[in-house]
Structure 1
């Protein structure tokens, strides 16, 4: 990207909205398919998961809600719609597939909410927005897979629902650095603040009870 384009974007979109005061952490679609070398969806995103797990621990210490999402379909894909028709690798997310299992280290905890979805955004066709509103949440921190797909879709919907949105760039991953970096850049310009793992953990640490 040329310096002229960076200056152009900074002038047009250089606003930060901040973290908010009552956040929730969302871990988007960290499932085995992205970590299994023989799977079409393999992305080699172990570093992103490790980062997300560290942010999760900080969120737990701060006693903020933690939500895990996954894509899951009826065994006959009756609820797959056009997304399932278009994206062939979604067959790995039919109910019962081992590729839809949680990777090691991300087993849901009793105090965490697990949300199943059928489309890219964690908000579309789910109770997520109403659940966050009922909990008094004003902001979300997003981590997950993939940056160019479900993370981006969830980011746009989070902003559209009125939540201050932060994307933890270190805790997101994609199959190629090009889409990953381009989508982080675009989300930071228009929809959210893209922050580092260190920034997210520092913020969550400020919420811990003295």
Structure 2
């Protein structure tokens, strides 16, 4: 079989690059993914730390920050097939403490919070319209999980005409295999996977 990298270079490998007007998205950074007692625990503390560093830099650069979380009606009336399929989503019924923000994370009053019921931050929400109104052309995606809500948001961001940028250190998953596979595929087809350092340098360039 062909080498994977060489195989994909035949068809993919293009870069979108950073745009001029970014927004930073912190996707589903809630307690459930960071509490070992929860079956959604993903051991992504390093991704959370990276996302918080990027948020601090975004604030300094005047980049808008958006937080998303999954919230369902107490009887899951708005859960749909996603709720039926993914059993751990029961932790996101309104009022469940597992849906609280992760340790060290609290949205500021001037940061938008988007409640969603599906994997993508864009599906069934007003996020795309809001970002368009703000003049945003680039979305920096951080949070969890790489193979789920990050990937779904990346694909939808691309479809809505935004440039998806995924800082590798700022996203996480419960296992390295789906994490790496989805980073590879997003980088090949939908957005640019970059380093935290590259993203921090980009934010700094917006201040210069």
Common topology (TM > 0.5): yes
- After superposition, give the CA deviation of every residue in 1:75-119 in whole Å (9 maximum; x if it has no partner): 010100111011100000000000000012110101100000000
* Aligned residue in 1 for 2:195: 196
* Aligned residue in 1 for 2:96: 97
* Aligned residue in 2 for 1:128: 127
Residues 9-158 of structure 1 aligned to structure 2 (within 5 Å): 9-158=8-157
- Displaced runs of 4 or more, over 6 A: none
Considering only aligned residues, what root-mean-square deviation do their CA atoms show, in Å? 1.0
- After superposition, give the CA deviation of every residue in 1:129-161 in whole Å (9 maximum; x if it has no partner): 000000011111100100000000000000000
Instruction: Work out the CA distance in 2 between the residues paired with 1:154 and 1:168.
Output: 14
Instruction: Work out the CA distance in 1 between the residues paired with 2:198 and 2:110.
Output: 24
Q: How far did 1:11 drift?
A: 2.7
Instruction: Work out the CA distance in 1 between the residues paired with 2:77 and 2:109.
Output: 30
Local SS of the residue matching 1:109: coil
Instruction: Work out the CA distance in 2 between the residues paired with 1:97 and 1:37.
Output: 16
Instruction: Work out the CA distance in 1 between the residues paired with 2:110 and 2:10.
Output: 43
Q: Provide structure 1 residue ranges, at least 5 long, that are not aligned to the other structure.
A: none
Q: How far did 1:3 drift?
A: 6.8
Q: How far did 1:207 drift?
A: 0.5
Local SS of the residue matching 1:184: helix
User: What's the TM-score, normalizing by structure 1?
Assistant: 0.97
- After superposition, give the CA deviation of every residue in 1:51-89 in whole Å (9 maximum; x if it has no partner): 000011111011011000000001010100111011100
Local SS of the residue matching 2:139: strand
Q: Provide structure 2 residue ranges, at least 5 long, that are not aligned to the other structure.
A: none
Instruction: Work out the CA distance in 2 between the residues paired with 1:33 and 1:43.
Output: 9
User: What's the TM-score, normalizing by structure 2?
Assistant: 0.98
Does 2:159 correspond to 1:160? Answer: yes
Local SS of the residue matching 2:147: helix
